[in-house]
Structure formats: C-alpha cells, structure tokens
Amino acid sequence: MLPLFMIVLVDLIGFGLYVPLLPFYAEHYQATPFVVGLVMAIFSLFQFISAPFWGRASDKFGRRPILIIGMAGSVVSYLWLGFADTLWMVFAARAFNGLMAGNIAAAFAYIADVTTRETRAKGMGMIGAAFGLGFIAGPAIGGILAGSDPANADFQSPAFVAAALSATALILTIVILKESLSQEIRDKIAQSDRPSRMEQLRSYFAQPSTARIIGLIFLATFVFAGLESTFAMWSRRQFGWGPEQNGYLFAFIGLVSAIIQGGLVGRMAKKLGEKNLIIQGAIALAIGVFLIPFSDNLTILIIAMLIAGYGFSIITPSLNSLMSLQASESEQGSAMGVARSASTLARIAGPAWAGLLFSAFGMDWPYFGGAIVMVVVIILAWNNKKHVQDSTD
C-alpha cells in the first residue's frame, strides 16, 4: 500500500494547490458567487460522467493503467489552466480534468484488492490520509505562490507546479507501482456477463443496503463541498483574506484530517464499527458547519473548522469501507466507481447550491443550510445501523 500512498499523495498535493485559488480566480473574471460555485462544480460534473466507466475499466484492465491515464490527464489539464486567460478556459480545463479523473476510483479499488474485510477501513483511511496530506501541502504551497492579495494574485504559477507534481506521480506509477488485480480475477470478469453502466447503477440503487450508503455518501459530501466552494468568498468578506490565508487554514485542516484518517480511523472502526463512526462524523460535521457563521474571530473559526473537518474525516472512509464490504471480490472497482459517482454528483450539486444560497440570501446561508442537511444525514445514518453489516459484525 505504501507505493500507492506515495503516488496518490504527490498527485493530490497538485490537486490541493488550487483549492484556495479557484474562487479568487473566478472572481478575477467578475464571476458571481453562483458562477463561482459552478466553476467549483464543473470538475465534479465531468468526473461524475466518467467515474463508473473508469471503475469498470479498472476491473477489466487493472488498476495501474487507469491510474496512469488519469494522472496524464491531470498534467494536461493543469497546463491548460496555467495558460487560461478567460473564464471559459478555466471552465474547460476543469472539465477536462474531471473527465480524466479515473485515478481516484482506481486507487480506492486498489486498496480494496490488497486488504481484508478486517483491514478495509484502515486501508481506506490510508488513502484518506493521502487526501489529508495533499490538502496540507497543496493549499499552503498554492496560497504562497498566489500571494495574500486577492486583487493581484498569481494564478499561473500554481497551475504549472500542479502539472509538475502530477507528472511526477505519473512517472512513479509507471516505475514503482505493481498491479493489484490478478489476471485470474480479470479473466473471470471478462468471461462474465457484465451489465451496462446504467444497469449497474440501478442494481446498486435497487439494493436497500447499498442505496442507503450511496445516499449518505452523497449528502455528507454535498454539505462539505458547499463549505469548500464558498469558504474563500466568506473569509474574504468576513476577514479580508486572500489565497495565502485560506491556504494556511486549509493546510491546517488537512493536517488534522491526515492524522485522523491515517492513524485513528482504522482503530476506531475496529473498536466501534463503521456504522457508529458514520453517526459520530455526521454529528460533528453538522455542529462544525453551523458554527462557521458565528465565527467573528480566528479562534472560533478554527474550532468550527476543526469540528467539521473531524466529522468529514471519519465519515468518508467509513462510508467507503461499508460500501466496499457490500460488494464481491470481482466488483470492487465497480462499487468504488459508483460510490465515487455519488460523491462527485454531490460535488456538482453542493457548490452550485451553496453558491446560490450565498448569492440569494447572504454569505452565512450555505452553512445554515448545510447544518440542516446534516440533521437529515444523522437520522438516516441512525436508521442505517439496523440494515447493513460492517467489519465488526
């Protein structure tokens, strides 16, 4: 698992570079908060379209080729973003990046290949830790490169650095990563009568256990994506922050996320079970997003973001682990592709919804709305305890 961790980490540092920058980049071209939400969502729209395809392709051809293709696509998209000089080019570069983003679903499927039921949550947590670490170094580097003044930010240099990092991850994948899916399983998949993508999606939704998990993945990600997409605009209006200050805060939250997902989730899941962690994470995320509008100083803001970050950091790997446990050995890639589709669909709807609330009702309403949604998640997660098995059952 270590080689994959290193590769995903390098790639996600590049991805994380632009988290604190995109809202400022869009506003640089006079985008409204709603349009900013669409800029954030366009990547996920095209990822949603392509994720089930990449998941099935990784079942058929192996995880390694899909990882290589996805990282090559990232290199091209970041170069495109670096040369963008209009808002439509920013949209186009982000859309292409999403279309080629099969590497994340393949990484989750890779972990499912090399772990047992008992160690699944720990393995998912390791990939989650790579996300966390990527969002430590990435936003900090991106913020420093762009600068603290939103009116005179450097948007090109972070894009070229991100392209270099993805190119490094691509080389590492080619040189050091071994295939995790055996030829025997691939042959078995090839000989089987595989359903179409829509039939596959319908089959997961037709099963109450997986349909509930998919719904929870969507709602939790919907709320957190709304937070991510509007926070830079909120902090600019509340505290006068630019990319650099946002980068430091996102880096701090990424550090907390890496510690939780890399060191704690596996042990917590083994002791408490995924179902209980999902409820705990939903409660924390609800409290955290609700507190953000009341953050009139840095101390309260850090507390609110820590609580929200903790909640999302334990609910995400727990839901992915639970989804994986419902699938057979030969369907891990498809299951992770469907789960990833749910989260990417949420990253389409969440930023657009949050941006609309920001524009229509004011800068605090994306967080009040998110807290209400998380109350629904808590209720659904509680009911879900009775109907699915986790690693402690």
Confidence band for 191, pLDDT divided at 50, 70 and 90 = low
pLDDT tens by residue, 240-291: 999 899 989 988 888 888 788 776 777 787 788 888 899 999 999 999 999 9
Do 286 and 371 meet the contact criterion of CB atoms below 8 Å apart?
yes
- Spatial distance between the Cα atoms of 384 and 362, rounded to a whole number of angstroms: 34
DSSP type of residue 177:
P
pLDDT tens by residue, 5-49: 888 888 888 888 877 788 988 888 889 999 999 999 998 888 878
Average pLDDT, integer, range 161-174: 91
pLDDT tens by residue, 53-67: 887 788 888 888 999
The predicted structure's pLDDT at residue 349: 95
The predicted structure's pLDDT at residue 327: 72
pLDDT tens by residue, 69-108: 999 999 999 999 999 989 999 999 999 999 998 787 788 7
Q: Give the percent of the chain with pLDDT over 90.
A: 40
Q: Give the 3-state secondary structure percentages of the chain, helix then strand then coil, rounded to 5.
A: 85, 0, 15
The predicted structure's pLDDT at residue 126: 79
- Spatial distance between the Cα atoms of 309 and 302, rounded to a whole number of angstroms: 10
What is 2-178+197-384's CATH number? 1.20.1250.20
- Spatial distance between the Cα atoms of 271 and 297, rounded to a whole number of angstroms: 37
The predicted structure's pLDDT at residue 370: 96
Confidence band for 391, pLDDT divided at 50, 70 and 90 = low
Alpha helices (H) along 29-102:
33-61, 63-82, 87-99
Tokens of 133: 């670490």
Which residue type does 27 have?
A: E
Tokens of 261: 């997902």
Do 246 and 335 meet the contact criterion of CB atoms below 8 Å apart?
no
Average pLDDT, integer, range 366-383: 93
In this structure, how many other beta carbons lie within 10 angstroms of the beta carbon of residue 384? Answer: 21
* Among the listed residues 125, 74, 52, the one whose alpha carbon sits nearest the alpha carbon of residue 318: 125
- Spatial distance between the Cα atoms of 84 and 94, rounded to a whole number of angstroms: 11
Angle at 335 between CA 333 and CA 338, to 5 degrees: 110
Is 329 exposed, middle or buried, given 0-12, 13-18 or 19+ CB atoms closer than 10 A? exposed
Q: Which of 59-68, 130-139, 305-314, 381-390 has the highest mean pLDDT?
A: 305-314
What contacts 346, CB < 8 A, 6 or more positions away?
44, 217, 218, 219, 220, 221, 222, 225
- Spatial distance between the Cα atoms of 190 and 120, rounded to a whole number of angstroms: 25
Tokens of 143: 């913020």
Q: What is the DSSP string of 269-313?
A: HHHH-HHHHHHHHHHHHHHHHHHGGG--SHHHHHHHHHHHHHHHH
Do 58 and 111 meet the contact criterion of CB atoms below 8 Å apart?
no
* Among the listed residues 71, 100, 97, the one whose alpha carbon sits nearest the alpha carbon of residue 84: 97
The predicted structure's pLDDT at residue 368: 97
Q: What is the DSSP string of 216-252?
A: HHHHHHHHHHHHHHHHHHHHHHHH---HHHHHHHHHH
Confidence band for 392, pLDDT divided at 50, 70 and 90 = low
pLDDT tens by residue, 323-364: 887 776 666 667 777 787 788 789 899 999 999 999 999 999
Q: Domain ranges in the chain?
A: 2-178+197-384
